[in-house]
Homo-oligomer: A and B are copies of this chain.
Amino acid sequence: MLDEKDKSALHDFLLREGLKFSAQRLKVLEVVRRGARHLTAGEIYKHTQAKYPGIGYATIYRTLRLLCQAGLCVELKCEDGVCRYEYAGGAVHHDHLICTKCGRIVEVVDPEIERLQERLFKVNGFLPQRHRMELYGICNRCKK
């Protein structure tokens, strides 16, 4: 169900941190890996229930945090106050273009913007860590 690469990336991370492997953690990774992108914790909970009945909400949240630390997942704090998660194993950074009518999310990346962001960090004496850029507008389907 899951690439060996993903599974061993999880294993390696757990070992490195002195943590333990579990079926639950693997199932959550599977859902994040195979499911749609930008799922909420609640959606991930439901999908994981199908593969592992009885799993609890707390485990979903704990595991998502773990996967983020392992670099296998990225958390996106949305304007509606709900976090969404997406698989990030070996994926490149990207930003989001979001339709305010239908909620459609398009992933974008502009190398020139990325470069200018780095410059902003430097000019202001900051050590760059990460950034978040969300562009809100109305998509072509909703413009009519």
Contacts and interface: CB of A to CB of B under 8 A. Distances in A.
Interface of A: 77, 79, 81, 97, 99-100, 106, 108, 110, 112-113, 116-117, 119-121, 124-140, 143
Nearest to A139: B126
B127 A137 contact: yes
B138 A126 contact: yes
Q: Top 6 nearest A-B pairs by Cβ distance?
A: A125-B140, A126-B137, A127-B138, A133-B133, A131-B135, A129-B137
Nearest to A78: B77
One complex includes copies of this chain to the number of 2
A41 to B, nearest CB: 13
A58 to B, nearest CB: 18
Contact of A131 (B77, B125, B126, B134): B134
Given A116-B113, A120-B108, A135 B126 contact: yes
Contact of A110 (B77, B116, B125, B137): B116
A117 B133 CA distance: 10
Contacts of A106: 124, 126
A6 to B, nearest CB: 27
A66 B124 CA distance: 34
